[in-house]
Amino acid sequence: MTELTAIDILINPDEAALARARALNARMLRSVPNGFALDTEHAPHVTTLQRFVRTPDLERVYDAVEKTIAETEVSALQLRAIAIRHADWGVPGQGLAVLQIQPNAAMLDYQARLLAAVSPYVESGGTAAAFVTDADDPDISQTTIDWVENFVPAQIGAGYVPHITVGFATLADLKGIEAAAFDAFDVHLASVAVYHLGNNGTARRLLRTWPFST
């Protein structure tokens, strides 16, 4: 059986957006102290595409991503954070909180071209072995495995809900957080990267990055 790697082809946001995400993460950790902190092994990001790819083909995946970036007008990929929302991630009494991002047509076109470029190296049937595990994250939830397996078609095109994950909070806290007024802001792109995924969709290990000039 071919070895698989769970990857996230993602956008690293600018420092202003990162500061907002880290402030929200601190708030989430007050709600759920045993949640995760945003750091170098849980990098805040905007996912574009998640897939199980054949590990021997990773270099080909990087080449496909690089070619797609080169053919993209990066300045047209406008993103805007519009709300705080949460998803049920299988933890009773808690939700996974995110900054919801509004994409534009150029972003959806970029996602479609990325998918076409890496699809020759994709394989279904990934297991926990495809993810980063260590003492801090020893287990991979079935929810995480299913999310990567079903990212296509669930999160493609009209179904795509880009976001920056900011941590776990109790449902009671989230009710108040989501009801409060939200100051929307633009999210600028600092780089594109490919990460090896950990539990809960965290960007655990940087594999390759393509920075943009500022």
Q: What is the pLDDT of residues 50-62, one digit of tens each?
A: 999 999 999 999 9
- Taking the CA atoms of the chain, what radius of gyration do you get in angstroms? 16
pLDDT at residue 213, as a whole number: 65
Q: pLDDT tens digits for 79-88?
A: 999 999 998 8
Average pLDDT, whole number, for the chain?
Answer: 92
If you ran DSSP here, which 8-state letter would residue 161 be given? -
User: For the chain, what are the domain ranges?
Assistant: 4-79+103-162+188-204
Contact 144, 199 (CB under 8 A): yes
Rounded mean pLDDT, 103-116: 95
Query: Of 61, 98, 65, 94, whose CA–CA distance to 82 is shortest?
Result: 98
